[in-house]
Amino acid sequence: MEEPDRPRPSGDAASRLAAEDLAPYSQAELQERIALLEAEIARVKAHHAKTAAHRAAAESLFGRPGG
Query: For residue range 2-34, what is the model confidence (pLDDT) as tens digits?
Result: 566 777 666 788 899 999 999 999 999 999 999
3-state secondary structure string, 8-54?
CCCCCHHHHHHHCCCCCCCHHHHHHHHHHHHHHHHHHHHHHHHHHHH
> Measured between alpha carbons, how far is 15 from 20 in angstroms, rounded to an integer?
9
Residue type, position 5, single letter: D
Q: Pick the more confident residue, 61 or 2.
A: 61
| Amino acid 6: pLDDT | 75
| Amino acid 9: pLDDT | 66
C-alpha triplet 30, 35, 37: angle, nearest 5°: 90
- What average pLDDT does the structure give for the chain? 88
Give the domain ranges of the chain.
26-67
Full-model pTM: 0.69
